[in-house]
Structures are given as structure tokens and as C-alpha cells.
Amino acid sequence: MPNIATLWILFGGAFIIATAGKSKELEINGQIRDREVRLIGADGEQKGIVSIQVAMRAAEDAGLDLVKIAPQAVPPVCKVLDYGKYRFEQQKKEKEAKKNQKVVEVKETRLSLNIDTNDFNTKLNQTAKFLAAGHKVKASIRSQVRTVFFLPLVTAACHLAAAYPMLKKLLALVALYNGTLFAWCLAGTVLVFGLIYLAVFAVTSRSYYKIVGNQV
């Protein structure tokens, strides 16, 4: 079974690259306060456990930096390398990664209550292009369909709320007003119609999404 020294010789460079993705900066040179470190030379050679003074001297003799690449190890592992060059290479890799990163946009397809066949086909073709380009469209379509479908129910509830004072006065004139009973009847009516709308929406929207999905 390979010992820890052999493992650091094999994977020391890879560990530095993995550590680069962390937000915390690596400790270098005079920032390192440990009394002893496990030293890896610039060529990857394992130097063993040495005092920080010996490690610093090795970095100075090589004209390079002493970088703590594994602070959690006991003792921490340090490697002799060109930290400026290392940082430059890492920044270059980050820029390349950002350049190649694909940005996904959310496109919106607007539908209306009285949309005709030609407009629907145009919207459908536009949606197909959005999806082919890798953009998100489906969630926007769902939102539009829910808005269009439940808008009449919401409008009716608003009208009923606005008409409530007038209905109250009319019922009071003929001595038929009962506040508690009226509130329960109103809530029950809204609930029943809401459940009916929800059931119809569940059935029709499933068919709609299936049709759109097949055509796209």
C-alpha cells in the first residue's frame, strides 16, 4: 500500500488545481506560520517533513514560491512552484470556462383568449426555434395558460366582492339578509366553481401541452 509521501508525489499537482476553485486564497511564503511542513520540490520530488525555515530556503534557492497546497494535512503540505505563473494559468482557464459557458435565456410566448390558427402556428414555430436554441419556454407557456384559464374566475370573484355592498342593501330591504348565511353561501359557491375550473383545467391543459409538445 503506498504511503502518504508517494501519494503526494503522484497527486500534488492535481491537488493544487482542485484547490484553485476554492474562494480562499492559498498561503504562500511568509504567510505560512507552521513550524514544520511536508515539502514537495519544484520537480515533484518528496522532501519529507522539514522545518519551515528549510522549506523557505528551498523555495528561495529555486527562485520560486513556497505554497501551502494542503493546509488540512498534518503536517500541512507545501510545494515549491512559481505562484505568479500558476495564478495566471488558473485565471486563463477560468476565462476560457466562462467564454465556453452556455447562457440559457427564458423566452416568453404570449397567448391570448381569441388567438386564431395562424397566430397560434406562428407562436408555435417561434417556440420551436427557442427550444432548438436551448432556451427555456415551457414554463412561460404554462404560466400564460393558467392566467388565461383562471382569469374569468378571478374576475367574477372581484365583481362579486365589488357588488357585495349593493347585494347586502337589497337583501336588507326585503328582510332576507343574514350575514353569516350569506358569507357561507358565497364561500361555498366560489369553492365549487373553483374546483370545477381546476378539474377542467387539469384535463384540457394536459391535452394542450401534449398537442404542443408533439408539434414542437
The DSSP line for 70-110 is ETTSSSPEEEEE-HHHHHHHHHHHHHHHHHHPPPPPB----
| Any domain includes 187 | yes
Burial class (CB in 10 A: 0-12, 13-18, 19+), 68: buried
Residues of the domain holding 205: 117-215
Quick one: pLDDT at residue 10? 43
| Any domain includes 62 | yes
| Any domain includes 105 | no
Quick one: pLDDT at residue 213? 52
Residue 81, all three cell numbers: 512552484
User: At which of 100, 134, 156 does a domain end?
Assistant: 100
Same-domain status, 154 and 67: no
Note whether 197 and 149 are within 8 A (CB).
Answer: yes
193 CB-near residues (< 8 Å, 6+ apart):
153, 156
| Any domain includes 108 | no
Per-position pLDDT tens, the chain of length 216: 445 444 444 444 444 444 444 446 789 998 999 999 999 998 889 989 999 999 999 999 999 999 998 888 889 999 999 998 888 888 898 888 887 766 666 666 665 545 667 776 777 777 777 777 766 665 555 555 666 667 777 887 788 778 878 877 887 787 777 778 777 887 888 788 878 877 877 777 666 556 555 544
Into how many domains does the chain fold?
Answer: 2
User: At which of 75, 100, 125 does a domain end?
Assistant: 100
pTM of the full structure: 0.37
Same-domain status, 123 and 77: no
Same-domain status, 58 and 21: yes
| Any domain includes 54 | yes
Same-domain status, 67 and 141: no
Same-domain status, 80 and 123: no
Same-domain status, 129 and 88: no
Note whether 207 and 215 are within 8 A (CB).
Answer: no
- CA distance to 27, 55, 89, 195, per residue, from 61 (Å): 19, 10, 23, 81
Q: Which CATH number is 34's domain given?
A: 3.10.20.80
